[in-house]
């Protein structure tokens, strides 16, 4: 499967995006729907037909993957939240992981989503794939549902779980032992409690039961077989890592190379436990640390400014693969960027940064329209307004469109190293570099400024700003007197000539050997592409950070064959250091993209 680093992801809360089928609005419980869209705790009508209607809009924006909130069948009743009845419009209160929620369906028959190949999900997948777009499904393995109010159309208990309509168990009559019974989390510093107790009264699954694990993994394999391309996984910090290692192994065995990323809330480079999760679970992770730095810098006006952002990038070497961090400005669990204090121009700057930095950028629906509602500080549920406009001429829309193209075309943006060129509280500049390709991004949140940048990895010449078409000259790796107006971004992109295409592309990744820019790391092996063990002809990797070297190699003659290989470090004036182990042996597929990631021994 093609990696996601060339993709811009669009995240939509399905119920709040577009109503494509008014016939499903009321669902099984009319009290759960508000036609006037005044009650923020109820369904408002968005559905999968609405997503299909807007695929061309999302494609025009430049987004080639779409993350949708969970599609599973939700509880029908309302839950008491501070005296108000709340429906499962958000998708995180599943009762049947093998059925589609009726509010999202195109017809009543669509609910039994795996009994037909002509459901609205099939149409969505077919229409997306025909546009070279990929579907990311939000999934939940940690919990089912909280208790419902019996006076609001629900059962009095909580946690009923069905297998395509057949009741299996419930929290109140748990004959299968599928639920923990430890009450709510009391000590958030106690990992055992966080993993085995309830979050906000949600019935917490007992992952130790093989019956539960078989059920949830079987359900997710069915969604993959339906055409889902990737998973976003909710509440990963609330289950032990051994469960996720088993889950990811089984999913990637079923769909080799698939992208999975998790939500470790407020995790990132400053949270050691979440770093351990990112390195050992097999998943990528939402980058909350970068989100906080961007919000502090560009929305809240923190005095340290861009130094906060650069401090996050300085810690990229903590991760074995910082490419798998999913970057974002905001989401459905926090106030939107503008509710946190950002102006439209600051939104534009933040978008330009996540679209040019490492990781996989994710855009929360409506950001390109500056959508926000500041009631109660923009906190949940006011961070989930209905999509209101589809204007393709907003500055944010144009920025995303232009930089999404840069991301598709420039390997340095997709997989390259981050090299800081200038940083102060108000002005920030960096390059992304991979082999002969380079992208320069510069930002200014303060008064109009002029800066000189040196050590720019670009050939001499005249370049145009991707965002404004303003021309600048690079001479000897230097840009003199670069003008940066207040609250502006500046981006130039250069791609080395395209290489010959091959049916198979290998990505070699090496972690765990403390190296630095200027050293040479190679892969040598028993095939022509790796020099037939000749060190001089070996394949040289690129420095990404002190914990990561990477290189992508087109493979022709060795595709579909077994190869043996190992990593070598050439140290100036200090000889050659080989991996202290027998060679790695791998049977290569005939085509596709394969990543081979190793830790130095």
Which residue numbers are catalytic?
Answer: 234, 263
Judged by DSSP in three states, 60 sits in: helix
Residues shown for the chain: 601
Judged by DSSP in three states, 201 sits in: coil
CB-based burial of residue 529 (10 Å sphere; 0-12 exposed, 13-18 middle, 19+ buried)? Answer: buried
CA-to-CA distance for 42 and 35, rounded, in angstroms?
9
Q: Greatest CA separation found in the chain?
A: 79
Q: Report the interhelical angle of 272-280 vs 241-254 (nearest 10°).
A: 30
| Number of Cβ within a 10 Å radius of residue 220 | 23
CA-to-CA distance for 23 and 92, rounded, in angstroms?
23
Alpha helices per DSSP H over 384-433? 395-409, 411-415
Kind of pairing between the strands at 542-545 and 479-484:
unpaired
CA-to-CA distance for 449 and 483, rounded, in angstroms?
6
User: Which tokens hold the place of 117?
Assistant: 């190949």
The radius of gyration of the chain from alpha carbons, rounded to an integer in Å, stands at: 25
CB-based burial of residue 507 (10 Å sphere; 0-12 exposed, 13-18 middle, 19+ buried)? Answer: middle
CA-to-CA distance for 267 and 270, rounded, in angstroms?
7
Distances (CA, A) of 551 to 273, 523, 554: 29, 9, 10
CB 540 within 8 A of CB 533: no
Distances (CA, A) of 409 to 251, 494, 495: 30, 9, 7
Tell me which DSSP letter residue 527 carries: S
Please report the DSSP string for 277-293 in residue order. Answer: HHHHSS-EEE-HHHHHH
What's the order of all strands across the beta sheet hosting 417-423? 417-423, 427-434, 437-444, 488-494
CB 406 within 8 A of CB 493: yes
Closest alpha carbon to 51 in 27, 26, 71: 71
CA-to-CA distance for 169 and 158, rounded, in angstroms?
10
Tell me which DSSP letter residue 359 carries: S
H or E stretch at 479: strand 479-484
Distances (CA, A) of 448 to 67, 114, 293, 399: 38, 58, 22, 21
CB 102 within 8 A of CB 24: yes
């Amino acid at each position: 499967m093609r990696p996601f680093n060339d993709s811009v992801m669009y995240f939509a809360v399905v119920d709040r995006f577009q109503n494509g089928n008014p016939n499903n609005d009321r669902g099984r419980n009319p009290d759960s729907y508000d036609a006037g869209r005044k009650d923020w705790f109820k369904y408002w009508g968005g559905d999968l037909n609405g997503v299909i209607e807007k695929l061309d809009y999302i494609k025009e924006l430049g987004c080639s993957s779409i993350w949708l909130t969970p599609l599973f069948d939700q509880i029908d009743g309302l839950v008491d939240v501070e005296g108000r009845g709340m429906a499962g419009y958000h998708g995180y209160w599943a009762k049947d992981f093998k059925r589609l929620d009726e509010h999202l369906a195109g017809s009543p028959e669509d609910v039994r989503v795996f009994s037909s190949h002509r459901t609205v999900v099939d149409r969505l997948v077919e229409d997306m794939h025909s546009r070279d777009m990929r579907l990311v499904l939000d999934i939940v393995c940690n919990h089912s549902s909280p208790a419902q109010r019996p006076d609001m159309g629900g059962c009095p208990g909580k946690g009923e779980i069905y297998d395509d309509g057949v009741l299996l168990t419930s929290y109140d009559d748990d004959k299968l032992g599928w639920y923990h019974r430890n009450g709510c989390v009391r000590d958030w510093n106690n990992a055992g409690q966080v993993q085995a107790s309830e979050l906000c009264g949600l019935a917490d699954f007992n992952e130790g039961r093989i019956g539960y694990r078989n059920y949830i993994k079987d359900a997710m394999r069915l969604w993959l077989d339906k055409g889902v391309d990737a998973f976003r996984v909710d509440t990963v910090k609330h289950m032990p890592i051994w469960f996720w290692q088993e889950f990811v192994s089984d999913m990637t065995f079923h769909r080799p190379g698939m992208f999975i990323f998790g939500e470790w809330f407020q995790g990132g480079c400053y949270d050691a436990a979440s770093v351990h999760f990112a390195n050992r679970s097999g998943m990528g992770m939402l980058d909350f640390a970068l989100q906080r730095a961007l919000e502090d810098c560009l929305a809240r006006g923190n005095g340290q400014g861009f130094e906060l952002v650069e401090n996050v990038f300085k810690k990229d070497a903590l991760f074995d693969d910082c490419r798998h961090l999913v970057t974002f400005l905001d989401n459905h669990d926090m106030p939107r960027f503008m509710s946190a204090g950002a102006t439209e121009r600051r939104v534009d700057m933040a978008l330009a940064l996540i679209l040019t930095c490492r990781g996989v950028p994710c855009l929360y629906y409506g950001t390109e329209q500056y959508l926000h509602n500041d009631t109660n500080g923009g906190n949940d549920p006011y961070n989930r307004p209905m999509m209101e406009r589809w204007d393709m001429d907003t500055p944010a829309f144009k920025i995303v469109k232009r930089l999404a193209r840069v991301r598709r075309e420039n390997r340095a943006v997709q997989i390259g190293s981050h090299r800081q060129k200038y940083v102060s509280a108000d002005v920030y500049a960096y390059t992304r570099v991979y082999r002969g390709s380079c992208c320069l991004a510069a930002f200014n949140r303060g008064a109009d400024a002029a800066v000189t940048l040196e050590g720019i990895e670009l050939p001499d010449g005249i370049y145009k700003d991707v965002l404004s078409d303003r021309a600048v000259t690079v001479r000897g790796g230097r840009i003199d007197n670069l003008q940066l107006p207040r609250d502006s971004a500046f981006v130039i992109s250069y791609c080395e000539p395209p290489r010959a295409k091959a049916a198979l592309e290998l990505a070699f990744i090496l972690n765990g050997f403390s190296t630095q820019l200027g050293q040479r790391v190679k892969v040598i092996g028993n095939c022509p592409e790796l020099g037939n063990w000749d060190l001089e002809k070996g394949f040289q990797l690129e420095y990404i950070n002190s914990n990561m070297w990477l290189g992508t190699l087109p493979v022709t003659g060795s595709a579909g064959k077994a190869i043996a290989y190992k990593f070598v470090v050439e140290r100036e004036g200090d000889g050659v250091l080989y991996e202290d182990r027998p060679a790695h042996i791998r049977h290569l597929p005939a085509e596709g993209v394969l990543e081979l990631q190793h830790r130095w021994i």
